[in-house]
Amino acid sequence: MTVYDFKVLDQQGNEVGLDKYQGKVLLIVNTATKCGFTPQYDALENMYEELKDQGFEILDFPCNQFFRQAPGTDEEINAFCTMKFNTKFTRFKKVDVKGKEASPLFQWLITQNKSGKAKAVKWNFTKFLINKNGEVVARFEPTDKPEDFIDQVKAELNK
């Protein structure tokens, strides 16, 4: 199984197959607009702008599970991110990333760490790096800033 086997919902509720991203390096992030890590949107957008022409995509999944730090509708979240941080990467419909109602994508992502043990998403801005084959190659916690792992992203792009 790879990330390409999953379907998710865009902001309008339309199903999107992640197979449309085959051959690209992806960074899948669960986000929130009222979190202490929300300023990472700036660094994520900078990374996206620098690397998008090399086959890099950021897939943003807002999540309201952590102290309700992603309030509002999908449209309100998108407007906030676009106006405040000028984000241009793809944002999907709000999802759960933990518990019984967790998105199947995130259920799969947490099982893909190298230790072999499932490790739940514990907070907003957990990031999963996906290689061109659709496999998880790294996981970055909320405290890991995009500028700290951009070289790892570039290395995946160059493979």
Report the C-alpha gap between 34 and 27 in whole angstroms.
Answer: 21
Q: Are 16 and 119 in contact (CB under 8 A)?
A: no
Active site residues: 35
Three-state DSSP state, 128: strand
Report the C-alpha gap between 29 and 63 in whole angstroms.
Answer: 10
Angle (deg, nearest 10), helices 40-51 and 146-157 = 20
